[in-house]
Amino acid sequence: MRSLEYRDALREGLSQEIERDENVVIIGEEVAQYNGAYKVTKGMWEKYGDKRLMDAPISEAGFIGMGIGASMMGVRPVMELMFYSFAYVAWDQLINNAATVRYMSGGKINCPIVVRGPANGGTGVGATHSHTPENAIANMPGTKVVCPATAYDAKGLIKASIRDNDPVYFMENTMLYGETWEVPEDDYVVPIGVADVKREGSDISIITHGRCVVMALKAAEVLEAEHDVSAEVIDLRSIRPLDEETIIESVMKTNRALLVEENRPFCGVDAQISHLIQEKAFDYLDAPVKRLSAIDAPAIYSPPLEKYQIPNVDRIIKAALTIG
């Protein structure tokens, strides 16, 4: 099978949806003539024209609000944030408007909008450009939050997100854009809310999402080769809805859980999962659930310290080996 970079897989998914549905449009800062800040939309403006790809002014509150209004009228906008850290500028629109309109209208109005962009640290862009807000956004009923870790999942999930009738907040990682995976040309969809067992194991479940999945898979190889530990790696893919069944089945099998995320620890996604495990699989645990998160501070500007701040392979291995 052919290999594609993560950004190219995203572009293929976006292009297939534009060609499938005349209501799909892409709006964002520099998505058209400049091909996108990270070249995810490269060549699309030339191919599909001004009516399908539109550059927006540097005003997230303005253009996200415009997209939400358009989605209520039948358009299916895909809004690009140059950094997901800028979502806070449009917080009222994303959380107070898009997430609640179906409830507030008694189900008469849907908001089929996708808001996508990179949400990660580790690239030396500072504390105001390195947020990972999946936990904060997933806290709000009415939202769906997805974090694809591979090019295959990025293509399948962006297509599922565009076809969804609720707002989907789609979080990528700039350090994955240039990574390659096998991706079929087919028109396939990865369903939202379904986790994936990326690696089978029997001694410990490493439950994670986003780029940390890649780190966890590398750590699992070392744990197997050097420490005779068989680690199962669960890729959540969706934060909300959360695939509780896959998490619980894995923990019941391995009897140990290590939760890994780039989020900071306080009120992180893994706090929710830790509670889920103690509630539904407590009697199956042979050791306490362990969490490995980013060090609890704004993104550190020093590159060596920032690389250590977020989970890496060595930190995952050390954390796994502390579980009895």
Give the active site residues. Answer: 60, 129
Q: Write the single-letter amino acid at 158.
A: I
The end-to-end CA distance of the chain, in Å, is: 41
Tokens 């293509």 sit at which residue?
155
How far apart (Å, rounded) are the C-alpha atoms in residues 257 and 48?
47
State how far the alpha carbon of 290 is from the alpha carbons of 213, 287, 320, in Å: 16, 9, 8
Phi, psi dihedral angles at 122 (to 5 degrees): 90, 5
**Residues whose CB is less than 8 angstroms from the CB of residue 12 and which lie 6 or more positions away in sequence, other chains included:** 4, 155, 183, 185
The sign one gets for the Cα dihedral 307, 308, 310, 313 is positive
The SS3 of residue 80 is strand
Q: What token pair was written down for 111? A: 């908001």
Q: Which residues pair with 197 in a beta bridge?
A: 234
Tokens 């892409």 sit at which residue?
26
Cα dihedral 18, 191, 27, 102, rounded to 10, equals: 110
Contact yes or no for 162/78 (Cβ under 8 A): yes
State how far the alpha carbon of 148 is from the alpha carbons of 154, 284, 319, in Å: 5, 29, 24
Contact yes or no for 181/146 (Cβ under 8 A): no
Phi, psi dihedral angles at 270 (to 5 degrees): -70, -20
